[in-house]
Amino acid sequence: MPHQPVVVITGASSGIGAALARRLGRSAFPLVLAARRAGALRTVGDEIGGDILLVPADVTRRADVNRIRDETLARFGHIDVWINNAGRGINVPVLELSDEQFDEMMAVNVKSALYGMQSVIPHFKQRARGHLINVSSFLSRVPLATYRSAYNAAKAALNALTANLRMDLRRDYPDVHVSLVMPGMVTTEFARNALGGTPSMTWASARPGAPAPIIQNADDVAAAIEALIAEPRTELYTQDGQLEMVLRYYKDVGGFERNL
């Protein structure tokens, strides 16, 4: 089997991160798995086995993110792919958000990824190659679940940081790839762990003509990310029809919203 890249995955103790770790582990990728819940992280690691490093860490702390990088370099000598996957949702409408709720969404979904970018990109620049993957959300582009307001806003901020970083690197570092992944609705612990609970999906069924949400499982998204590692691209929507919906939204925001 050819040499596989060294991959760092944050938020690897459950959901998309754990599914991706299992998938890559089956293909003998050297893996570094990071998450706040050490026990759950060990469980995932025990399932995978192989060439794996577990790093319990809180990615909302810059020092912890730097430690993930440093322990990876100490173990493997280099990093090929860094995946900022850690995140948390919230289900509170705009007018009911507290300062604490908004700050937490920005810390978990944006600042953690910023710390990852600032930690690993200098290493990629030194090697003149590497692949950064930021996991965002389809909901950052279209207002289909307004009760996730601050989560959607945080992921929109992540989108902007990702695009700006890619533009900063593209001329001098063409082999440092920066990708954004846009999952839709995914069956993971994410909804159960969202702040404020998760309401039923009434937006589709309550609006005549609105499409019913398509639910993916975490392994579907993991398969898409594995393909992205093999063939980097700038953005990846993980469900058919998502890009078309986004294009319709930005072509006529008012018309799109009136039809929801």
Domain-located, residue 48? yes
Domain-located, residue 224? yes
Q: How much is the mean pLDDT over the chain? A: 90
Which of 115, 147, 151, 237 is an active site residue?
151
The CATH number of the domain holding residue 86 is 3.40.50.720
CA distances from 49 to 57, 84, 147, 174, 225 (A): 20, 22, 39, 34, 21
Domain-located, residue 137? yes
Domain-located, residue 32? yes
Query: What mean pLDDT do residues 76-103 have?
Result: 96
Give the Cα separation of 55 and 70 in Å (integer): 11
Domain-located, residue 24? yes
Structural domain boundaries enclosing 191: 7-200+215-240
Give the Cα separation of 48 and 68 in Å (integer): 19
Tell me the pLDDT tens digit for each residue of 124-166: 999 999 999 999 999 999 999 999 999 999 999 999 999 999 9
Give the Cα separation of 172 and 164 in Å (integer): 14
Domain-located, residue 205? no
Give the residue, 206 or 86, on which the prediction is more confident.
Answer: 86
pLDDT value at residue 154: 98
Determine whether 151 is an active site residue. Answer: yes
72 and 125 Cβ atoms separated by less than 8 Å: no
Burial 52-67 (b: 16+ CB within 10 A, else e): bbbbbbebbeeebbbb
246 and 236 Cβ atoms separated by less than 8 Å: no
The answer, yes or no, to whether residue 251 has pLDDT greater than 90, is yes
Give burial (CB, 10 Å; 0-12/13-18/19+) of 112: buried
Domain-located, residue 256? no
Domain-located, residue 257? no
Domain count, the chain: 1
pLDDT value at residue 202: 41
113 and 134 Cβ atoms separated by less than 8 Å: yes
